[in-house]
Structure 1
Amino acid sequence: MLRLTWVQPEDLVGHELRQAALDGREASAVAARWHAAGGPPAPLAAGASARPVSRYLRLLANDLLDELAELPSSLADDEPSDLAAIQALCPEWPVSPGAPAAWDGPVFEARLEAAWLGRAAGCLLGKPVEKLPLDAIRALARAAGNWPLAGWFTARGVPAELLAEHPWNRRSAATSLAENIDGMPEDDDLNYPLLALLVLRRHGRRFTTADVARVWLDELPAGRTFTAERIAYRNLLCGLEPPLTARHRNPFREWIGALIRADAHGWTNPGDPGAAAAQAHRDAALTHTANGVYAAMFTAAVIAAAAGGERDVHACLRTGLTVVPPRSRLARAVRDAVRLAREHADFDTVVDLLHAAHGATHHWVHAVPNTALLAAALTHADGDFTASICRAVSGGWDTDSVGATAGSVAGLLAGSPRALPERWTAPLKNRLATSVGDFDGTGFDTLARLTHLEASRP
């Protein structure tokens, strides 16, 4: 039986009810109707429940999703999705330096290659433990003598009973353990920067959200989309246009998907975090709203600062917060995470406190806790590459996505592929697998050149 993930109406209602509790909508009456009718809760980890429901429940689910969308939010004034409204709430929005800077070709290109390599390494490190609970990640790494996390995950030396209790991510186990890594396997965390490059090549830096949609329909296989991206893809095929694609029956609109698409917008606006954030907003608006959009803008601004030559990760993070509405949930979570990372020498303590603050209320793919973890990992690592990706992945939740973004930032700070430890870069073999466009098998040095070209365009 085919149960397509992330789109079954009966699975979306539970996620929308949880989202309503987070964004200040009173949904108790809708929840009571759903539960009284026998509606199931949202699947805890999987993208779809095991069995379909009756036709009646499916029709009710669609009606309730529309009803939930109409409920007013008490947080609307502090958490707008429109760019002009966001900028109006950000008194320290970065001032653009004006004309693009004339970046030194070889130096900047080396920085971009380190960013691509860092993104791949961080993603690959997190792939085998994606979806696993925090205690499982710690147990598997400890059993291999790899805790605190300092290298690739491995099954070598791990007791069979522990592997049976906490199996690796099914899709990734064959390509992302120390014993079987052979180049960078396909992953959505690398597909989306490639798509962003295609958007920029075809439409320039003044691209629209509709341009992003067109490139997706041309180049992105539907089966390579997940959560909010899959909902938006479906909405496009149903004839809806942005930004309605992000809002219509999309309970994942504040999850991490827009954040993982933000790197290229920072890479191509070095030293101009305001422009990077605005560019990331146009991309994110296809699929996300409010805090889901802010996560992308924050990430793009952090990366733009680092791409422009800023070597202090703490200054980069402060720059990222200037493009996020200060009273938003994401801004508060990031500020608290940075504070915790400064207060505690043991990163496990930081992670435990973050999980205590967010774990019970947020799905493991939600942008708010994952962005907080990203900020905490980068702060605690103080710019060190290995520490950045290992702390990001060791914190659980969306391990490959947070690891990827941490690696991108830390790669930029390192400044060159030669500055990255060979144990992280050599297994990648300068080869990326993907189903996007003509990029399959492309080297990270080539991707850096292509990114540099887009960064140099007016």
Structure 2
Amino acid sequence: MGTAVRLTWIHPEDLIGHELRQARQDGRDAEAVARRWRDAGGHDAPPMAGASAEPAPPRLRRLAEELLDELASIPSPLADREPTDLDAVIAACPDWPGARLAAPGPDLADRVHGAWAGRAAGCVLGKPVEKIPREGIRAIAEATGNWPIRGWFTARGLPDDVAARWPWNRRSASTSLAENIDGTPEDDDLNFPMLALALLERYGTGFGTEDVAQVWLDELPAGRVFTAERVALRNLLLGLVPPQTAVHRNPFREWIGAMIRADVYGWVNPGDPARAALLAHRDAVLSHTANGVYGAMFAAALTAMSLTAQDPEEALAGALRVVPPESRLAAAVREGAALARSEREFERVLDALHARHADLHWVHSVNNAAAVAAALVHGAGDFGASVAAVVSAGWDTDSDGATVGSVVGGLLGASGIPARWTDPLRNRVASSMTGFDAAAFDDLAARTRALVPRAAD
């Protein structure tokens, strides 16, 4: 007999621990459910990979399914101030923009190109240290003479004991260390923006969430998506439709997945954070709710602002206008930015953020949005300083590096990003997406700009 396949992010007995954590975070009283799970021999959420090593007995799996549904029926006391419905989100934002905040200038082509290239560079910087905690990232950088981080990670000169204690992902390291970068390697943080571009080219800006679902079914193998996206794909295959796909046995619905999908919605709406956020909302509700959706709206608004703003502070101010101010994500963004303004030593900023968000998974939307905001303020428009700061936070390093790289790349334009961050990428990105393998960033930028008049009419 062959070994049983243990898929990550799917099995009920692995989801229940994450859902219990989510319940604590949104104020639901789940202690009775937690006690029943523990008394039956259930385990906590797997800390990293998303699946325990061994399958659960059938009785435990059935109990997990029952308890997941029971937890879903417990109302959250935060629901009123953290709605998911679009009309309620807009109503919760007293400063929601009623019109475009700024018109794009003659440098739009350079800025969109910079956004694509910057996203790729930030992603590649964070890729080899994904899943390595903050202290490990610093140990690797210090041991190789790269602390504070000012360039690509490298294995050259890395002592064996440091490498053994903090091993990188072999697959990622083979394509994203200084000594072997040869073009931009495939990554979900780059596949999703290309998927959004394909969606807009196919359906236009009037697309619906069901169109997002169709593109996913056409283009995304389950093995290339994670957490909430994998659960949403499973739910689609079970015959569920949005927004049920986001909530059915999906404890990852407030994690970072929707945030990494949203940049293109901002790039086709330069200077218009509200319209960018509306498109991001339609995409996000396929798989996310509340703060998970706000992460996408925040990212889309940030990237929209990055193409017209003069600095990160202006971009952040515009982006916060589309996030309910009483939500945990808005509070985290404000806190991250404020800490970076008041404390010049970024390690102390990170100390405070890690203490504040110690209960969150390393790919939750709230803590990662705080890190993005802090890095943008700290970097003050310097590309290398900004992406290095957010990667040093040690949470979702490649996703956050991509988002910060996108925003600062949009602010600077391709011509303003130092060549040492873009030359190794060779103006191409690998992808399993239909029609996108070896796509050039200048071509992707041109295709994106072609959608701007249709988005801004």
TM-score bucket of the superposed structures, by smaller chain: over 0.9
What is the Cα deviation at residue 315 of structure 1?
Answer: 1.2
Name the residue aligned to 1:12: 15
Aligned to 1:95, the other structure's residue is in SS state coil
Q: 2:104–2:271: 8 Å Cα contact kept in structure 1?
A: no
Name the residue aligned to 1:157: 157
Aligned to 1:39, the other structure's residue is in SS state coil
Aligned residue type for 1:25: R
Q: Deviations over 1:195-252 (max 9, x none)?
A: 1011101111011000000011111222111000000000001000000000000000
For structure 2, the residue ranges without an aligned partner over 5 or more in a row are none
Q: Deviations over 1:406-439 (max 9, x none)?
A: 0000001102x22111111011011100111110
Q: 2:100–2:274: 8 Å Cα contact kept in structure 1?
A: no
Q: 1:115–1:409: 8 Å Cα contact kept in structure 2?
A: yes
Name the residue aligned to 1:343: 342
Name the residue aligned to 2:133: 133
Distance 1:286 1:455 in 2: 24
Distance 1:219 1:168 in 2: 28
1:58 aligned to 2:61? yes
Aligned residue type for 1:30: V
Name the residue aligned to 1:402: 400
Aligned residue type for 1:425: T
1:448 aligned to 2:445? yes
Name the residue aligned to 1:212: 212
Name the residue aligned to 1:355: 354
In the superposition, the TM-score normalised over structure 2's length comes to 0.97
Aligned to 1:296, the other structure's residue is in SS state helix
1:315 aligned to 2:314? yes
What is the Cα deviation at residue 141 of structure 1?
Answer: 0.4
1:85 aligned to 2:84? no
Q: Deviations over 1:148-173 (max 9, x none)?
A: 11100001111011101110123301
What is the Cα deviation at residue 384 of structure 1?
Answer: 1.1
Q: 1:257-276 residue pairs with structure 2 within 5 A?
A: 257-276=257-276
Distance 1:109 1:74 in 2: 46
Name the residue aligned to 1:412: 410
Aligned residue type for 2:441: F
Distance 1:78 1:246 in 2: 19
Q: 1:78-117 residue pairs with structure 2 within 5 A?
A: 78-97=81-100, 104=106, 107-117=107-117
Q: 1:154–1:177: 8 Å Cα contact kept in structure 2?
A: yes
Q: 2:104–2:270: 8 Å Cα contact kept in structure 1?
A: no
Q: Deviations over 1:181-202 (max 9, x none)?
A: 1110100000000110111011
Q: 2:269–2:275: 8 Å Cα contact kept in structure 1?
A: yes
What is the Cα deviation at residue 147 of structure 1?
Answer: 0.6
Q: 1:136-285 residue pairs with structure 2 within 5 A?
A: 136-285=136-285
Q: 2:222–2:230: 8 Å Cα contact kept in structure 1?
A: yes
Distance 1:27 1:450 in 2: 48
Number of aligned residues? 452
What is the Cα deviation at residue 376 of structure 1?
Answer: 0.3
Name the residue aligned to 1:304: 304
Name the residue aligned to 1:391: 389
Distance 2:389 2:290 in 1: 27
C-alpha distance 394-186 of structure 1, shift in aligned 2 (>3 A)? same
Distance 1:31 1:102 in 2: 52
Q: 1:221–1:435: 8 Å Cα contact kept in structure 2?
A: no
Aligned residue type for 2:436: F
C-alpha distance 102-117 of structure 1, shift in aligned 2 (>3 A)? closer
Q: Deviations over 1:29-57 (max 9, x none)?
A: 00000000001111111121111110010
Q: Deviations over 1:101-152 (max 9, x none)?
A: 6864xx3122111100000000000001101111101100000010111100
Q: Which runs of 4+ in 1 moved over 3 A?
A: 100-104
For structure 1, the residue ranges without an aligned partner over 5 or more in a row are none
